[in-house]
Amino acid sequence: MSKADSKGMWGGRFSEATDDFVAAFTASEHYDRRLYRQDIRGSQAHARMLARCGVLSEADATAIIDGLAAIAAEIEAGEFPWDPALEDVHMNIEARLTARIGDAGKRLHTGRSRNDQIATDVRLWLREAIDEATHLLRHFQAGLVNLAEREADTVMPGFTHLQVAQPVSFGHHMLAWYEMLVRDEARLADARVRVNQSPLGSAALAGTTFAIDREQTCAELGFEAPTRNSLDAVSDRDFAIEFVSAAALTMTHLSRMAEELVLWASPLTGFIELPDRFCTGSSIMPQKKNPDVAELVRGKSARVHGALNTLLTLMKGQPLAYNRDNQEDKEPLFDAADALHDSLRAFGDMVPALSVNRERTRQAARAGFATATDLADYLVRKGVPFRDAHAIVGEAVAYGVQHGEDLSDLSLETLQGFSEHIASDVYAVLTVDGSMAARDHLGGTAPAQVHQQVAAARARLAGD
């Protein structure tokens, strides 16, 4: 066995073997092996390019490409001999390739470094993760649009400060969630633009002395363009931070939705019923139906927020170019992507399947004098200055609180005691349905507007 073989693929410089603890401490193959498809694809593109440029013989390139394909089959069949002593996915695959095809395998690394290799692999992997998250986002969006249409005429209380504020359409509320997800999708699409740059060929930090064709590997791997600076290319992790930042904001939105779902599903509120298949029970209380999926999504948001903080802190003190610190970028990145994907899948399937207790939401909308603003607007249309109208309605509400009556339950005589401008037509604006329907403008909660926005959302989903 050569000295290099006894000390790893890079061991020629060293006079003693790596300490066993250090070998385990520095190894990453147990988690970065999930990059094997991207690593093999990038290596095959690199080999084709080297052959085209005359750096590799066609025979060596063919042996490398075929050997890598066979290794991919081994990994997928669960037959690949992963070795922690070889540190990472790249060295495991290269060592296996050399064992299969001999010296040709050793020539694969010509003109590149693990620094540009891992940067390429992560970008390829993250591009796929973004595409999957986008697909899941759009599935959830479509489900919300369907639910909004189904519940366009369903009255529920809208809240500020978690106090009943004004009646709104349940469908309008679902479209508010939809708008959050539209912004989330746009942020992912924007981040993908900067992910989709090829660092392959930047080598360790300064490029390579071989006459390579970076445009060829860029095109074969589906990147938009090669990176422009080799130092930046191997040390940049902005693209990972951008993705996790977008994921963190998406998870914040999902967490807010989860909080509302948990509140609405409580028997104290009783607004919705979640499908049994998305809930769990209690080990001691047989009556319990717990909204665990929503609670776990709410909890997973903390993990993604933590991943963002980890990556920001990881990068903030690093000089150019590559540093081993960057080995620590993959676990938070993988974890954030996994949490995002799982949460979107869970909500995309669960939320559109919930049922609404329409009678209960209507009752709740009638509580808390939800049509008080409508009465103030009514008085303004009768010529009363808004501030005076506000004070008049405040007095009427105080009376209602004292006597346990909603504004719509007060007699005309009682209402006229607060203002001479009130007439019998006032009751048209004091009902929750009338209040909701009156807000018939772009962005308003009127059922007619909900149906228009549903149509616009469907057109967007179909058109894109």
Question: 160-215, pLDDT tens digit by residue?
Answer: 999 999 999 999 999 999 999 999 999 999 999 999 999 999 999 999 999 999 99
Neighbour count for residue 177 (Cβ, 10 Å)? 20
- Can you tell me the mean pLDDT for 274-295? 90
> Per-residue confidence at 76, pLDDT binned at 50, 70, 90?
very high
Share of the chain above pLDDT 70, in %: 97
What average pLDDT score do residues 357-379 get?
A: 91
367 pLDDT tier (thresholds 50, 70, 90): confident
Q: Which residues have CB under 8 Å from 165's CB, separation 6+? A: 157, 158, 159, 368, 370
Which range is least confidently modeled, 87-91, 120-124, 255-259, 407-411?
A: 407-411
Q: Is the pLDDT of residue 360 over 90?
A: yes
pLDDT at 10 over 70: no
Mean pLDDT, residues 75-93 taken together: 96
Report the pLDDT value the prediction gives residue 5, as an integer from 0 to 100.
47
Tell me the β-bridge partners of 356: 272
Which tens digit of pLDDT belongs to each residue from 128-173?
999 999 999 999 999 999 999 999 999 999 999 999 999 999 999 9
Counted residue by residue, the chain has a size of 464
pLDDT at 8: 55
Domains of the chain: 16-110 (1.10.275.10), 115-362 (1.20.200.10), 366-463 (1.10.40.30)
Residues 6+ apart with CB under 8 A from 16: 7
How does residue 439 score in pLDDT terms, banded at 50, 70 and 90?
Answer: very high
Task: Tell me if residue 305 is catalytic.
Answer: no
Is the per-residue pLDDT at 298 higher than 90?
yes
How is residue 114 written in tokens?
A: 């693990």
Report yes or no: 148 and 450 within 8 Å, Cβ to Cβ: yes
| Annotated catalytic residue 390 | no
Residue 20's pLDDT is what? 82
| Cis peptide bond upstream of 321, omega within 30 | yes
With cut-offs at 50, 70 and 90, classify the pLDDT of residue 3: very low
d(CA 340, CA 393): 46
Q: Is the pLDDT of residue 6 over 50?
A: no
- 57-90 in b/e form (b: 16+ CB < 10 A) is eeebbbbbbebbeebbebbeeeebeeeebbbbbb
Residue 391 has a pLDDT of 96
Q: Which of 2, 15, 161, 411 is catalytic?
A: 161
In this prediction, residue 288 carries a pLDDT of 84
Residue 382 has pLDDT above 60, yes or no: yes
Angle at 292 between CA 271 and CA 290, to 5 degrees: 55
Kindly provide the b/e burial profile for residues 151-176, where b requires at least 16 CB atoms within 10 angstroms of the residue's own CB.
bbbbbbbbbeeeebbbbbbbbbbbbe
**Tokens coding 320:** 């150019």
Mean pLDDT calculated for residue range 44-57: 98
- Checking if the pLDDT of 9 tops 80, the result is no
Cα(390)–Cα(406) distance, integer angstroms: 17
Mean pLDDT for the stretch of residues 251-272? 97
pLDDT confidence of residue 281: 86
Instruction: Tell me which of 6, 266, 282, 355 is the catalytic residue.
Output: 282
Cα separation of 27 and 197, whole Å?
Answer: 27
Q: Where are the alpha helices (DSSP H) in 102-237?
A: 103-106, 114-150, 170-195, 214-220, 230-235
305/126 Cα distance (integer angstroms): 18
Structural Rg of the chain based on CA atoms: 31
Which of 64, 133, 122 minimizes the C-alpha distance to 98? 64
- d(CA 46, CA 105) in angstroms, rounded, equals 13
Residue 368 has pLDDT above 90, yes or no: no
Average confidence (pLDDT) over 46-64: 98
Mean pLDDT of 235-264: 98
Is the pLDDT score of 11 beyond 70? no
Query: What is residue 2's predicted lDDT score, i.e. its pLDDT?
Result: 40
pLDDT score at 26: 85
Q: Is the pLDDT of residue 4 over 90?
A: no
Average pLDDT, the chain: 94
In the chain, the percentage of residues whose pLDDT exceeds 90 is 87
Which pLDDT does position 276 carry in this prediction? 93
